[in-house]
Amino acid sequence: MKKIKLISLAVVCAGLSSQVQAAPKLIPTMGSAATTYSFFTIQSPPAGVSALTVQTMLQGELDVSTALPKLTACWVTGDLNVTPVNCGNGAMQFANADLYTYNGASNIPPFNVSNALVVGIDPKKGTTLKKLTLTSKGANFRVGTVGVPNSGDTTGRVVNIHFNQRVAQFGMLVDSGQALAPSVSGIQFIVNRQTTLVKPLVAGAATFVGVEDSAGFTDISIIASGDVQSQSGVRAWNADQFAFVPLAKF
């Protein structure tokens, strides 16, 4: 009788151990079901052209583009880092207002928009609408004075992102700075209260960093590691092509 009880207890313990949540892990690429957002800002739209018109035209180009990954536009209204950025009507929300979109030097390749969008050619009238510029160089993560690109703290910045559904993967392209003056050296994630290893970044190049947790998650924190070679002392970093794979499609 005692043997039967011991065997039963062993079976129960084995079942419990199999339910222990696996640790999140770094991944080299995103799954095929990923939705990828690229940040865009409209600068100096000409009179008579609505932001909605520009957004519709750009998304049309993104939809027919053969470049990978397939991009969806996430519109940022300015460089004020006042309103938390919301992509996809809540699909991906940055919890803190710590995004800047300065169109500075970046190693992240921008989406090459057509001349119709760059110079604002009205296809119906055949006229040129001047002073229409789109930027697609991602966002800066920094703390500093509004409108001053090189101001910031020296301790890095924790970035928090919330998803409106459980996701299994998250990834992005990160630019740590110029080759001779990087600002950060690595990125790590906190998912389901567990911290991943640090993903080293390549100075002077865009580096993909991603994380996967098969249990799914709705919130993620991103931590940037400082770089001892930083000449500015500012722990700022650029990122774009923010991607996630829903748990339901994982």
Mean pLDDT of 126-130: 54
- Residue 230's identity, in one-letter code, is S
DSSP 226-241: E-TT-SS----EEEEE
pLDDT tens for each residue of 99-113: 666 555 678 887 877
Residue 168 clears pLDDT 90, i.e. is over it = yes
Indicate whether 8 belongs to any domain. Answer: no
Q: Is 13 part of a structural domain of the chain?
A: no
Radius of gyration of the chain (CA): 22
> CA-to-CA distance for 31 and 244, rounded, in angstroms?
9
Q: Which of 35-49, 135-149, 171-185, 235-249 has the lowest mean pLDDT?
A: 135-149
Is residue 20, in this structure, part of any structural domain at all? Answer: no
Q: Residue 198 has what pLDDT?
A: 94
Task: Single out the residue of 65, 13, 23 nearest to residue 190, CA to CA.
Answer: 23
- Coil, strand or helix: which one is 182? strand
pLDDT of res. 16: 45
On the question of pLDDT at 18 being above 50, the answer is: no
Q: What is the pLDDT of residue 130?
A: 47
Of 130, 172, 163, the residue nearest 36 (C-alpha): 172
Range of the domain at 174: 25-249
Give a yes or no: residue 7 inside a domain.
no
173-210 pLDDT per residue, tens: 998 888 887 878 899 999 999 999 999 999 889 999 99
pTM attached to this predicted model: 0.80
Out of 39-43, 106-110, 145-149, 193-197, which region has the weakest mean confidence (pLDDT)? 145-149
Whose CA is closest to 237, among 135, 141, 157?
141
> Is 19 within the bounds of a domain?
no
Mean pLDDT to the nearest integer, 50-71: 87
**Does any domain span residue 146?**
yes
Q: Based on the structure, what is the number of domains in the chain?
A: 1
Tell me how many helices (H) and strands (E) the chain has. 3, 18
Which of 125-139, 210-224, 225-239 shows the lowest mean pLDDT across its residues? 125-139
Instruction: Examine residue 16 and state whether it is found in any structural domain, yes or no.
Output: no
Flag whether pLDDT at 6 surpasses 50: no
Instruction: For residue 224, give the H/E element and its range.
Output: strand 206-226
